[in-house]
Amino acid sequence: MKIKPIKFIEKKWLAIILIASLIEPVHYFLLINYPLPGKTFMAYDADEATVAGVMRSVELDFDNPWSKGEKVFFNGALGSPYPYLMLGYIRMLFGIDALLMNIIAKFLLFFVFLLVLFKAMEALMPRRHELAFIFFLLPLGLMPIGYMLGYVTGVERLMEGFSFEFSILNNISRVYYFVPLITSLLSLLFFSKGKKTHTTIFLGLTFFFYPFFGFAFAGLMFLYSVSGKHGKIQDKFKQSVNELWKIYAVAAIFLAPWIYARFVHPEYFTLYSQNSLWWRAHLVGILGSYFILLGIIFFANMQQAKKNWKFLLIAGVLAITIMIFELKALGVSPFTSLMLPNAILDISELLFIALFAVGWLVLESGLDRRHKFIILAVLALFPLSILNPKYVFWMQYRMGYLLHIPLAMLAALYFDPFVAKMKSFGVRKTIVVAVIGIFALASFLAYNYRYQMADRWIGQVYLDKSDKDAMLFLNTQQKGVVLASDETNYFLPPWSGQYVLYHPAESQYLGGGPDRQKKKADVAAFYEGGMDEDEFRDMLLRYGIDYVFYGSKEQQLGGVDLESVDFVEKIYDSETAVYKVRL
């Protein structure tokens, strides 16, 4: 008897995954090859320039290029450096620039991520995993309305507030998210198959690459374990602890670099531990971004909802209260005029999160183990996604994106009951599919149009070609500190491989040392022509500057005549000039 080989994945799904993975590279192709007139593309945004700079740190003894002497391991705003350090060595091996390395890495890692996600859904769902994968790929929220509101009100944040639905495809496409997403899904996948050694290794790697995902998936692993146990609640928990503690103990060893950073450089951990409601607005984002998925789940369980209407009423009041605060923080009128004490928000958040304790009822149900797990995963990630960062050190910031995965799975499980419910209202399945398809297509087109055009409208990531050529020239020179203006400072380290005095971002500390503000003021004064020759000399000596960059952004700030200064020598002469300090 001939046994047919088991297919890892069907070709049609490989094709779908490949097409989805190519979306972002196509954007880059257009941005790079069809730039603004007279300009050249430097990076998609300041964040991409930052991670590209982390890649170049391998040439600088792991120094932060925006803060000489400060290692990239101990600056929280740089994110997790380890994936980028690996890419830095690969980049050097193949002789390609950091931007191209980042584009290639994102494409390959996103392809692998979707492949692993498909197999994880297949293993963790009792049925309908293919539909869940489609739900995950499709933007199924209120993004068209979000864009319309943003356009009408002029509130840019509304466009982002409704963009979680497509975020995992584009908005968070960063290597230091994709790598731990892959390892964390693999850890859960192997755990579901009883392979504890593999589970331990991949959970440990997740802790190493991005501890927050490690903690999140360690929790999900516990939920998967406990959902398959029998007996009283306390017995289930005890059995799961016995099953998992060795895995956790060994995997936790991979946290060593982060524990060291926590105690030796605590500023890494205090960076984001603040009440940044304006930046997070996650309940608005979750409800808007996953609206259709949530609608499918709600209407499929209408009978249960009617039985528990009091519970839902309380949850609704608390959710509305939280969203009012979020809309106020986003600057949406008329909420901006409301004078509400923050204590109301804190109480509402804590009470709302407490409602998710009903998860223990799921454990007592007669549902399939994998069905239980998916519900528990949603009940765990939903409150964590909206929890104030002051309670959990910003851990919730990316949990809203992780929530997308179990929500897509749960919506797929409930899709048939949802269609049946819609049919009872006189709405045929074809109409349901058509409405979902129209919203998904509108969201896809709107998001990608904005993704492509945002850089062209703002223009900040396009510099004059002469500026980039000068940076590439500096890439051939001895390493040193370059004096440049704020807008140039974003892109100079990744393209030149040199240091600059500070990172210009005001919202986060990305480098520059304790006298960063003084440096910024001195640089501005110099390029605006407010320094005499002696003051200029003193500044160069004080900050250990080796090169002076004079490009399009510097020229816009005012007039500086360096030709007559005898302690700087012009070593690059074009529309952009580079001077070598001779002191």
Q: Where are the domains of the chain?
A: 106-457, 464-581
The pLDDT of residue 554 is: 92
State the pairing for strand pair 67-71/481-483: unpaired
The residue with tokens 């360690």 is 218
* CA–CA gap between residue 84 and residue 176 (Å, rounded): 7
**Residue 212 exposure: Cα atoms within 13 Å on the Cβ side:** 21
* CA–CA gap between residue 451 and residue 449 (Å, rounded): 5
- What the block records as the tokens of 174 is 């960063």
Count of positions (residues) in the chain: 583
The pLDDT of residue 1 is: 45
* CA–CA gap between residue 420 and residue 113 (Å, rounded): 33
Average pLDDT across the chain, whole number: 86
The pTM assigned to this predicted structure is 0.90
Decide if 326 contacts 284 (C-beta within 8 A). yes
List, in sequence order, the alpha helices (H) in 233-290: 233-251, 256-264, 267-270, 277-280, 282-289
* CA–CA gap between residue 283 and residue 300 (Å, rounded): 22
Q: What element of type H or E holds 148?
A: helix 143-153
State the pairing for strand pair 63-64/67-71: antiparallel
The residue with tokens 């963009």 is 163
Q: How far apart are the first and last CA of the chain?
A: 84
The residue with tokens 């990531």 is 461
List, in order, residues 6 or more apart from 39 with CB less than 8 Å away: 459, 462, 463, 464, 465
The pLDDT of residue 278 is: 44
User: Mind listing the pLDDT tens digit for each residue in 473-500?
Assistant: 999 999 999 999 999 999 999 999 999 9
Pick out the chain residues at pLDDT < 70. Answer: 1-7, 76-77, 155-173, 267-281, 388-397, 506-509
* CA–CA gap between residue 51 and residue 566 (Å, rounded): 37
